[in-house]
Amino acid sequence: MRSFYLDSSDWPETPDERLILTGTEAHHASRVIRVKVGEEVRVFDGIGREALAEVDYVGKNRVDLAPREVRVSPPPARSVTLAVAWTKALRRSWLLEKAVELEASAVWFWQADRSQGKIPDEPKETWTAQLVAGAKQCESAWVPALRTFPKGFPEVAAAAAAIPKRFALWEDPHQPRMLTANDLDGPGDILFVLGPEGGFSPKEEALFTDAGSGFVPVSLGRRILRWETAALLCLGLAFWSGS
Ligand code: SAM
């Protein structure tokens, strides 16, 4: 079944009112997918609400849908936040799609001392579009929240203060203990912080190794992984343990 995204702010007040697709979603439905009147489609808002709806008008810039059934999926029992250091765009869209599939609640990008390039102050529209594309493909009703942290690790640490399980993924072969299944078991929101291609700077390492930081430095094993591999592994382990 075809899925279309409708931002939660655009959903009607009452459940039997029409859902109106406009902009890129209307164009996608009418010009790319070429939906037909009477066809049943799925609409989702990215924060848990989805509807089965019947197409009852197809215009060039607007598609009207009559909702047949609306349901709300609760958020995952615990949130998983992936904080990856800003790095070249190469695999970012791929990672955003995997973050949806593996039910990350949030994806944070942060400016590390060794990041290549400058992080945008705000998340880009294209990132949201990539998350929506991922949610369409895996029929998820949830889309991870996006944030950027241009001020670096201290800004991430401050934003993460309420997250009980905070892991700094540290590739230093001599230091950290392994991340274990035990770490990820049971309730309690999780944060994974990963460094850039060039790794964490000594200043950043001092921040997360400080006993009072609330971070646990952990290793994924002796091999130095590319940031996207390490990120995917963290999300996969959390998804698997949460299932
Ligand atoms: N500076 C590293 C080097 O060249 O030796 C490479 C950093 S790695 C490409 C990018 C990030 O992935 C690291 O900062 C870390 O967060 C994560 N990472 C990669 N391999 C890891 C491992 N074996 N254990 C924990 N984290 C790892």
C-alpha distances out from residue 171 to 161, 178, 218, Å: 23, 10, 8
CATH assignment at residue 152: 3.40.1280.10
64 and 115 in a common domain: no
Query: With 90 as the cut, is the pLDDT of residue 91 above it?
Result: no
Residue 116 CA to ligand 1 center (angstroms) comes to 15
SS3 176: coil
**Ligand 1 pocket residues where CB is under 6 Å:** 169-171, 194-195, 197-200, 219-221, 223-227, 230
Residue 113 CA to ligand 1 center (angstroms) comes to 14
192 and 161 in a common domain: yes
| Residue that terminates a domain, selected from 51, 72, 93 | 72
Q: What is the DSSP letter of 28?
A: I
CATH assignment at residue 31: 2.40.240.20
Residue nearest to atom 2 of ligand 1 (CA): 199
145 and 88 in a common domain: yes
Burial class (CB in 10 A: 0-12, 13-18, 19+), 91: middle
Phi/psi at 107 (nearest 5 deg)? -125, 120
Q: Per the structure, how many domains does the chain have?
A: 2
C-alpha distances out from residue 178 to 170, 174, 201, Å: 10, 11, 20
* Predicted confidence (pLDDT) per residue in 225-238, tens digit: 999 999 999 999 99
Question: What number is the average pLDDT over the span 24-44?
Answer: 96
Residue 218 CA to ligand 1 center (angstroms) comes to 11
183 and 142 in a common domain: yes
> What's the helix, strand, coil split of the chain in %, to 5?
35, 30, 40
Tell me which of 92, 166, 169 to substitute to probe ligand 1's pocket, judged by most ligand atoms within 8 Å of the beta carbon.
169
Selection from 217, 128, 240, 100 nearest residue 166 by Cα: 217
* Predicted confidence (pLDDT) per residue in 127-176, tens digit: 999 999 999 999 999 999 999 999 999 999 999 999 999 999 999 878 77
46 and 94 in a common domain: no
Cα 215 from Cα 61, distance rounded (Å): 49
Q: Which domain holds residue 8?
A: 3-72
| Residue that terminates a domain, selected from 72, 103, 124 | 72
Question: What number is the average pLDDT over the span 74-86?
Answer: 94
C-alpha distances out from residue 90 to 1, 78, 87, 228, Å: 31, 30, 8, 10
- Average pLDDT of the chain is 95
Cα 134 from Cα 140, distance rounded (Å): 8
Residue 199 CA to ligand 1 center (angstroms) comes to 6
232 and 125 in a common domain: yes
Q: Are 107 and 96 in contact (CB under 8 A)?
A: yes
130 and 41 in a common domain: no
* Predicted confidence (pLDDT) per residue in 102-125, tens digit: 999 999 999 999 999 999 999 999
| Residue that terminates a domain, selected from 48, 72, 96 | 72
216 and 184 in a common domain: yes
Residue 200 CA to ligand 1 center (angstroms) comes to 8
Number of residues assigned to the chain = 243
C-alpha distances out from residue 42 to 50, 134, 137, 170, Å: 7, 14, 12, 41
181 and 100 in a common domain: yes
177 and 126 in a common domain: yes
165 and 226 in a common domain: yes
DSSP string computed for 205-241: HHHHHSGGG-EEEEES-SSPPPHHHHHHHHHHHHHHH
111 and 169 in a common domain: yes
Count Cβ atoms below 10 Å from residue 159 Cβ, excluding itself: 17
